[in-house]
Amino acid sequence: MNRTAELTLFEAFKRVPDPRKRRGIRHPLHALLTLAATAIVSGARTVSAIGQFGRNHRKLAARMGFTRKKLPCQGTFHYLFKELNIEKFEEALRVWALSFEPPDASRRTVHTEGKSLRGSARSAIDCVHLLSA
């Protein structure tokens, strides 16, 4: 696996093969994936929320590589995610994440364990979770 210094998420997504048919493509794949990843990190949980995030942040979307005035809708993301090669997508994310690690860094493993407190789901507040590392 090649590590590239300061690889952007946008550049990493250029490595993902486009599953869409050439006819009808309006937006670059790497721009769609970058917008989706940014929206999800910002709290979007549905394809309609991802589309809305793009419409709410038009200047950011333009910097991601969208050239058309009309940004993608929820259907665009729905059909894209349905056909996307998940292994290639995960590989692009892995390469991007590893690009932040210094080449001489030794790997460290952190073990985690999580639990939900018994009976806390029935309380007036949200369920209480414990996480230890």
Q: Is residue 53 part of a domain?
A: yes
| Predicted pLDDT of residue 4 | 47
Q: Is residue 109 part of a domain?
A: no
pLDDT tens-place values along the chain, 133 residues long: 454 467 888 899 999 999 988 887 889 999 999 999 999 989 999 999 999 999 999 898 888 888 888 999 899 999 999 999 999 999 998 888 888 777 666 667 778 888 877 666 565 566 777 778 7
Q: Is residue 90 part of a domain?
A: yes
| Predicted pLDDT of residue 69 | 86
Q: Is residue 78 part of a domain?
A: yes
Q: Is residue 133 part of a domain?
A: no
Q: Is residue 67 part of a domain?
A: yes
| Predicted pLDDT of residue 121 | 59
Instruction: Look at the chain and report how many structural domains it folds into.
Output: 1
Q: Is residue 122 part of a domain?
A: no
How far apart CA 5 and CA 100 sit, in angstroms, is: 7
Nearest C-alpha neighbor of 72 from the set 8, 130, 111, 25: 25
| Predicted pLDDT of residue 107 | 66
Tokens 């940014």 identify what position?
38
Q: Is residue 124 part of a domain?
A: no
φ/ψ (deg, to 5) at 129: -115, 145
Range of the domain at 41: 9-103
| Predicted pLDDT of residue 126 | 66
How far apart CA 52 and CA 95 sit, in angstroms, is: 28
How far apart CA 2 and CA 113 sit, in angstroms, is: 31
| pTM exceeds 0.85, yes or no | no
| Predicted pLDDT of residue 83 | 92
